[in-house]
Amino acid sequence: MDPRLVSSVSIAVAKAAVESGVAQKEITDWDAYAEELKQRLGTENELLRTVFNKAKRFPKRVVFAEGNNFNVLKAAQIALHEGIAKPIILGNAENIKRIVEENELDLTGADIIDVRSEAERNRRDCYANILCEKRGRKGLTHKEAAEKMYDRNYFGAMMVENGDADAFISGYATRYFEALKIASKVIGIEEGMKTLVGMNIIMTKKGPLFFSDTTVNSEPTPESLVDTTLSTARALKTFNVDPVMAMVSYSNFGSVRKGSPVRANKAIEYLHENHPELPVDGEMQLNFALDKKLRDETFAFNKIKGKDVNTIIFPNLSSGNIAYKLMQDLGGLENIGPILLGTAKPFHIVPMGCSVREIINMTAIAVVDAQG
């Protein structure tokens, strides 16, 4: 069930009731009525409303690299019709046309590009030159760069790198780490960062929980944990969320002086000294992070005293990845992401074989990312 149906179907019924004279109350502001219906869905959907509303204000050009798949095309259609994004769809034009006709889709207004066609020859050559110039001293030959431009993921990433598009989405039919390599090689890491970060959003009844890093760094250094914390905090700000962050481990505030607790402790020490404005503390066990009464009674010195934690920074990839999948699969909670943070330009990877709704959510996030 897609929560957006609550507003779209209800509005259709209400309009019919008004037009037929059955309705006892006449509605004049349908936009306000739609927003009221969305608010009834609860706090767990407030974040998505914020993201979608921000995306609609200034829709951006989003490249969908895997246009030969129905779910991707359906998501592009919805993004186009709802005014979330201006889709650029990469794929075989004949295959896309067939899927559109068979499923009665409407992509009027979207750009469809066949990267292998003769019409794109000049752009392939241009992109190959740019990529070779960027990666030439890292072992990439011009011939290899030219061959990569026949790959939709490389071509689409180069569109963003070259300013021909604002954001990139792939992953539906591409392995995550393959797409991650392309992000590193073509787009690169934003200035001041040393690593990329994967963040997942778990939509709970009490509001969203943000988990980092869930997909990239297997054994992060203290410096990586600092980068993870800072990039996650910046991402929450774009969603109009004030971060309250806990760096978790299997120990509390230095009670274990070896392994991941030490790395987390060093990261917290750096953050407290260089970013005192950021509400973050640790290392601490997860139960202390989520139970502020228990945390404040046991460790009264903590720097997030009296605050409800909404962001968890994990000590390594295994713990972060396992945690979000447990919440999603056993808890039955909706998951958004992983959202890739730290790229120089907006580059996002959806889970392989994901739903239309997941692609649409990521599209809105990519647009907001591009606005920033």
**104-109 long-range contacts, CB within 8 A, separation 24+:** 105/73, 105/74, 105/77, 106/77, 106/81, 107/73, 107/76, 107/77, 107/80, 109/80
Record the tokens describing residue 307, joined without a space: 């605050």
Respond yes or no on whether the N-terminal peptide bond of residue 178 is cis (omega within 30° of 0).
Answer: no
Closest by CA to 170, choosing from 49, 105, 102, 88, is 88
> What is the CB neighbour count within 10 angstroms for residue 164?
16
pLDDT tens by residue, 254-309: 888 887 889 999 999 999 999 999 999 989 999 999 999 999 999 999 999 999 99
pTM beyond 0.85: no
Can you give the length of the chain in residues? 372
Provide the residue ranges of all domains of the chain, joining segments of one domain with +.
60-188+344-371, 197-341
At residue 1, the pLDDT reads 44
At residue 112, the pLDDT reads 94
| Pick among 3.40.50.2300, 3.40.50.10950, 1.20.1250.20, 3.30.420.10: CATH of 60-188+344-371 | 3.40.50.10950
At residue 340, the pLDDT reads 94
At residue 68, the pLDDT reads 93
pLDDT tens by residue, 309-324: 999 999 999 999 999 9
At residue 35, the pLDDT reads 61
The residues with which 170 forms a beta bridge, in sequence order, are: 349
At residue 37, the pLDDT reads 65
Cα torsion angle, 297, 299, 305, 309, sign = negative
Record the tokens describing residue 170, joined without a space: 């792939």
Residues in the chain predicted with pLDDT less than 70, given as ranges, are 1-7, 30, 34-44
Instruction: Using the structure block, give the residue that is written with the tokens 């973050």.
Output: 280
CATH number corresponding to 197-341: 3.40.50.10750
Q: Which residues contact 304 (CB under 8 A, 6 or more apart)?
A: 244, 245, 246, 279, 280, 281, 292, 295
- Domains 60-188+344-371 and 197-341 are alike in CATH topology: yes
